[in-house]
Chains A and B, each alone.
Chain A
Amino acid sequence: MFEPFYISFKLASITVLILFIIALPLSWYLSQTKSKIKPFLEALTALPIVLPPSVLGFYILAALSQNSALGAFFKETFDISLVFNFTSLVIASCFYSLPFMVQPLQSGFESLNTKMLEASYIAGKSKLQTLLFVALPNIKPALITAIIITFAHTVGEFGVVLMVGGSIPGETKVASVAIYEMVEIMDYKGAHIYSAIMLGMSFVVLLAVYTFNAKHKEKFGL
């Protein structure tokens, strides 16, 4: 009965993990660079915020289907289809939620005292050491925000998931899609229960983020 929630959370957890690994170097680079390509990268990263999910879903579908070079390659070499399965959901979610991981981290890094980072370089620490031991621990609120919002945003996605994953029970049918289907078949009781769970959890998650950030500010003044 709660399988769609399980799929939603599995999807969100994997997406957060992958995006964190991708977004950490990207946001650090964006925060430190003075390069001319920065605005281009920033615009690209922010695109999923403004694009209709259907546009994003369509392009992903076009890029991954067996009619595309990439999709054909995976089909022939590994016999894996990249659409209408869980893998395609993960790929789509990574695009869809990218800005929600990159932007808080980037603004967190940008708010750091440059002199503090320089002090670490002067002390002989490499950029990687500085990122891991000085920069990251000093942007904990931004880090928590990025992770939680990315998670919540992935759980909340609907349009892209529907287009790329369809609604295969136990495989790609996530909670938001399940609610849509319940309403379609006029199972209002089920839709109420699912929606209430989503509403309650989203609120608790956001409450936790804001409470943590307020406490952290009190303690470290960051």
Chain B
Amino acid sequence: MIKIDILKKLHGASGKMDLQVSLNIKEGEFIALTGASGSGKTTLLRILAGLEDAEGKIEVANSTWLNNTKSLSPQKRSIGFMHQVSALFDNMNVLENLLFIQKDKNLALRLLSITGLIELQNRYPKTLSGGQKQRLSLCRAMMRKPQLLLLDEPLSALDAQMRSKLQEEILMLHREFNTTTVMVSHDPSEIYKLSTRTITLENAKVIKDGNTKEVLLKMQGSQKFSFEGELLELKKVDIVVIAIVAIGQQLVEVVLSRQEASAFKVGQRVILGTKAFSPTISHPSL
């Protein structure tokens, strides 16, 4: 069990605010931390890792990492940390990057084989692809068999295919080691696949905390089928208006009447949904 109850003054883009988080995390839980940028997600991870100070309490299992009188240094906390962009030791090869953390060659080789890096064990980080670097970062974060694994948007710099592969590997590692994990992510499919609990931060406060499926599948109104996207253009064509909406990587056209269109502005976030028709699912054409 991890108990967190912390307070830190932040100087964010929107002025001063207090990061105030109070959480209990069960052992082995996989938590997704989401929320707009600047809401304090990364700061929370850094406080957990001991890289930034804060007031309050952090208790992990039977040890106290932070209270009013002491704050354990990052060295003394049992943490694995993975960044969005890899911060590997460039002077060491793949295997050495792991062995530097812990002289446990069996564990290192096991992690490398789970992530498919075993063939690359003598290569230097500079010669690895983005996906391979992130895999190695993941292995490195696991080398200490940490009590708490912190992933800060670990896959957001990768392309969709690589991302989905690494999600599988994160899941595999989580099943194998059952490490309590907190992952910052903006990608709903990633959150859905990996986490069991989702916490949403807004202006440095927790505004939502619940079962991932419930949080993500919450429906607005009576819509059965809806996507959030950005309105790119409103094109007037005869008496109707065609709205171009970007949803993920896809562009969608929707026909609106002029009156309906007047309620929207280009650049807004909009929800695209359907009520009367039952949608069908088919394979995307390749």
- A binding-site residues for B, Cβ under 8 Å: 113, 115-116, 118-126, 133-134, 137-138, 140, 219-222
**Contact residues in A for B124 (Cβ distance below 8 Å):** 220
Chain B CB within 10 Å — which of A113, A121, A134 has the most?
A: A121
B18 → chain A closest CB, angstroms: 23
**Contact residues in A for B144 (Cβ distance below 8 Å):** 123-124
Interface string of B43-59 (1 = CB under 8 A from A): 00000010100000000
Interface string of B97-130 (1 = CB under 8 A from A): 0001110000000000000000000001010000
> Bound complex: CA of A120 vs CA of B90, how far in Å?
12
Q: B90 near A221 (CB under 8 angstroms)?
A: yes
> Bound complex: CA of A9 vs CA of B73, how far in Å?
45
**Contact residues in A for B101 (Cβ distance below 8 Å):** 123-124
| B197 interfacial by beta-carbon distance below 8 Å | no
Given A133-B100, A220-B126, A221-B126: A122 in contact with B91 (beta carbons within 8 A):
no
- Of B74-82, B173-181, B254-262, B263-271, the segment with at least 4 beta carbons within 8 Å of chain A is B74-82
Q: A124 near B75 (CB under 8 angstroms)?
A: yes
Q: B140 near A119 (CB under 8 angstroms)?
A: yes
Q: B89 near A116 (CB under 8 angstroms)?
A: yes
- Could you list some 8 contacts between A and B, CB below 8 A? A122-B51, A122-B79, A122-B80, A124-B75, A134-B91, A140-B91, A220-B91, A221-B126
**Contact residues in B for A113 (Cβ distance below 8 Å):** 87
**Contact residues in A for B77 (Cβ distance below 8 Å):** 122
- B binding-site residues for A, Cβ under 8 Å: 49, 51, 73-77, 79-81, 83, 85, 87-91, 100-102, 124, 126, 140, 143-144
Q: A118 near B89 (CB under 8 angstroms)?
A: no
Looking at chain B's contact residues, the main secondary structure is loop
**Contact residues in B for A219 (Cβ distance below 8 Å):** 126
> Bound complex: CA of A116 vs CA of B89, how far in Å?
7
Given A134-B91, A138-B91: A121 in contact with B73 (beta carbons within 8 A):
yes
Q: A123 near B100 (CB under 8 angstroms)?
A: yes
> Bound complex: CA of A121 vs CA of B90, how far in Å?
16
**Contact residues in A for B89 (Cβ distance below 8 Å):** 116, 119-120, 134, 138
> Bound complex: CA of A137 vs CA of B89, how far in Å?
9
> Bound complex: CA of A222 vs CA of B89, how far in Å?
11
Given A123-B100, A220-B126: A118 in contact with B91 (beta carbons within 8 A):
no
Taking a contact as CB atoms closer than 8 A, the residue among A122, A125, A140 that contacts B49 in the complex is A122
A154 → chain B closest CB, angstroms: 28
Q: A118 near B51 (CB under 8 angstroms)?
A: yes
> Bound complex: CA of A179 vs CA of B85, how far in Å?
55
> Bound complex: CA of A72 vs CA of B126, how far in Å?
57
> Bound complex: CA of A113 vs CA of B84, how far in Å?
13
> Bound complex: CA of A160 vs CA of B268, how far in Å?
70
**Contact residues in B for A221 (Cβ distance below 8 Å):** 90, 126
**Contact residues in B for A137 (Cβ distance below 8 Å):** 91
Taking a contact as CB atoms closer than 8 A, the residue among A121, A138, A140 that contacts B74 in the complex is A121
**Contact residues in A for B102 (Cβ distance below 8 Å):** 123
With A121-B51, A122-B80, A220-B124 given, can you name 13 additional A-B contacts, CB distance below 8 Å?
A116-B89, A119-B140, A120-B100, A122-B51, A122-B75, A122-B77, A122-B79, A122-B81, A124-B76, A124-B101, A134-B89, A137-B91, A140-B91
B40 → chain A closest CB, angstroms: 18
A123 → chain B closest CB, angstroms: 4
Q: B90 near A220 (CB under 8 angstroms)?
A: yes
> Bound complex: CA of A113 vs CA of B86, how far in Å?
10
**Contact residues in B for A116 (Cβ distance below 8 Å):** 87-90
**Contact residues in A for B74 (Cβ distance below 8 Å):** 118, 121-122
Of all chain A residues, the one with the shortest Cβ separation from B84 is: A115
**Contact residues in B for A119 (Cβ distance below 8 Å):** 81, 87-89, 140
**Contact residues in A for B100 (Cβ distance below 8 Å):** 120, 123, 125, 133-134
> Bound complex: CA of A167 vs CA of B194, how far in Å?
76
Q: A115 near B83 (CB under 8 angstroms)?
A: yes
> Bound complex: CA of A115 vs CA of B150, how far in Å?
14
Q: A123 near B143 (CB under 8 angstroms)?
A: yes
**Contact residues in B for A122 (Cβ distance below 8 Å):** 49, 51, 74-75, 77, 79-81
> Bound complex: CA of A203 vs CA of B102, how far in Å?
45
